[in-house]
Amino acid sequence: MDLTEVREKALERMKGVCAVYKVCDGRPDRLCQGIKYGKPLGMGGIGKGMTFAANIEALDRLQLKSRLIAPHTEPQIKTSFFGHDVAFPIFCSSMSGVKISMGGNISELEFAQAVMQGCKAAGTIGFMGDTADTFADRPGLQAIREAGGWGVQIFKPREQAVLLSVIKEAEQAGALAVGLDLDGAGSVPMALRGQPVFRKSVSELKELVQSTSLPFILKGITGEEDAAAALETGCKVVALSNHGGRTLDCQLGIADVLPRLVPILKGKVVITADGGIRTGFDALKMLALGADFVMVGREFLRAAIGGGAEGVAAEAEFLSQDLRKAMIMTGCNSLSDIDGHVFA
């Protein structure tokens, strides 16, 4: 499926919520931006949208330099995620609320199926979030089950007993990993729908981590204190993320966060990073800053709405080819070659 066609269809289906600009940059004049005054957030950032924009700006400040005089070698971009081989280190970030909050005309289950099946076809991994309106149906877990267990479920920080129960369900669905969306703690809509969310202590997180044999992911880390505390929990993955600028305004872009937190985390846990990544060149920058895997949200969301599983696979192929090209141009023959030398 042609990605241009997918994006045109997404524009049609997301009318009034997302204009599917060629560059999704969080500018204040964009259709999605602006304070919503209690209405669904849509595709924009919370508050003045400064964190959303900061993610883009932090990446754009990083300039790349070419390195071309060397024997030619085809870049090796295959890697593995806890023993599971993947074609490249770019995953679909966990998202939810596609119909209510993001203007999609597909159900939460259809969205989850598109993500899991499309990513699996492309040789990468889809992550899925949860939402108050469809939580009882567990669409993410159903899609993971249908994909033969090829997917990851991230839950909101709900009551401890609820989490212990749904983590077991994720195991039964065959999920590759499970995790907690820590930066969902401030969600008012969740509480209004009778599903309150909470900040979690180290001891509570330890209980969750120890309750499962699956690799456990803590998502939403942006500060040194939380990075150090995350290591105490025994989690296997720390996801550096500000939720795409959708939960707390006036934060640093994730490309600015990485240099602060990588020295604390590197070699102790797997590090993922998301926030403002639109191309494989952006992905190269995040990997060079120390991320082990890169998570992409908005691009996959529009691909799923515009083209279902085929659209997701087409987006994944585009990103992987972009990364491959970026590696050729910067003299990187393998993922381990990607480091600070790529920057000007």
Q: Give exposure, 13-32, as e/b (b: 16+ Cβ within 10 Å).
A: bbeebbebeeebbbeeebbb
Rounded mean pLDDT, 152-173: 98
Q: What is the pLDDT of residues 51-62, one digit of tens each?
A: 999 999 999 999
Mean pLDDT over 41-55 rounds to 94
| Residues 254, 274 contacting (CB under 8 angstroms) | yes
d(C-alpha 257, C-alpha 311), whole Å: 31
User: What residues does each domain of the chain span?
Assistant: 79-342
Average pLDDT, the chain: 95
d(CA 306, CA 12): 8
pLDDT bracket for residue 105 (50, 70, 90): confident
**CB of 45 closer than 8 Å to CB of 245:** yes
Q: Is the pTM of this model over 0.85?
A: yes
Question: Which CATH architecture best describes the domain 79-342?
Answer: Alpha-Beta Barrel (3.20)
Give per-residue pLDDT as tens, 117-159: 999 999 999 999 998 888 999 999 999 999 999 999 999 999 9
- How far apart CA 154 and CA 166 sit, in angstroms, is 10
Assess whether pLDDT exceeds 80 at residue 104.
no
- What is the arithmetic mean of pLDDT over 224-250? 97
What pLDDT score does 40 carry?
A: 82
CA distance 155 to 190: 12
* pLDDT of 103 over the 80 cut: no
Residues 66-84: pLDDT tens digits? Answer: 999 999 999 999 999 999 9
Neighbours of 66 (CB within 10 A): 11
Give yes or no for a contact between 123 and 88, defined as CB atoms under 8 angstroms apart.
Answer: yes
Check pLDDT > 90 for residue 233: yes
Is the model's pLDDT at 41 over the cut of 80? yes
Q: For residue 37, what pLDDT is reported?
A: 86
- What's the rounded mean pLDDT across residues 228-254? 97
pLDDT band at 295 (very low <50, low <70, confident <90, very high): very high
